[in-house]
Structure 1
């Protein structure tokens, strides 16, 4: 959100904010991904990738980027690649070290129809990632080599059932995957609750 975007290091058990860095008020931060000792912050319409030191959260540099829609929605890395979404069905592949664009692929369902509004993404292994589909409380698992969905995870109504009893008009919009426990964390814009689940 403009004027509200910031990076925070949070203890997942207690919710305590360990450290934070406010971002410039003229950028709308979307996805965040760590590669080595650098933290990459994808912006929405500014076409900028902001780079910060992962230990100190101090600003390092800015890169310009292009996508199909001209926007940045989600970002994740498997170590060698950075993958970026832009609200369309496309996955954009960048070199994780140089940040140079390499290729892109369109994600399609079993009928060959584009799966649009791919939003926040998270790798679960070298070739598979999870993508939150904007406007829907569901996540699709994608093979990045083919662009084909491998499965779907449905979370419709989870906030109303287990979170704030008053519900929340904002969308599901944030996922993180713990490699060690194989657990998925997810939340949404202005949600007061973060959920954790095991992937099957």
Structure 2
């Protein structure tokens, strides 16, 4: 009887001490946020353009006022993503989602938040660049993302993502590329040999 009572007391104590520790990491948090201070956006500069990163490929960004939207296609063409955010000075803060092409289910899409800090050309860098991070879920920090603006490339958000059968390797069976000409008449069956 004393052993049973002691076991219950130990279990109750463990539950009371463990519950706050277990719930400390659950839901409701704000996530990790980057500790950065916005500076002035250089005069005449804009986020609109195509930016290249070795890891993320070409990121197409379009700025409308302080709102910025973008899409990217990874270099291996296995994933594409999209972001929407707001700029404050030379900082762009955004929410993103990335989709794995041909994958269905809960692991087909990843989401999070991120930020980019704009840098104009310098004596050693001929083009605009940005440096930032993307985090998973509610986090704004995590994986680095640096890119350089591409010269003479216009952004085309419609060219990336969610295009249908070609995302799954289904080809262009429903496109307008139809064969030209008339089909041949069927051949007559050959008589069996004696």
**TM-score, length-scaled by structure 2:** 0.25
More RCO (CA 8 Å, sep 6+): 2
Q: Which has the higher strand share?
A: 1
Q: Which has the higher helix share?
A: 2
**TM-score, length-scaled by structure 1:** 0.24
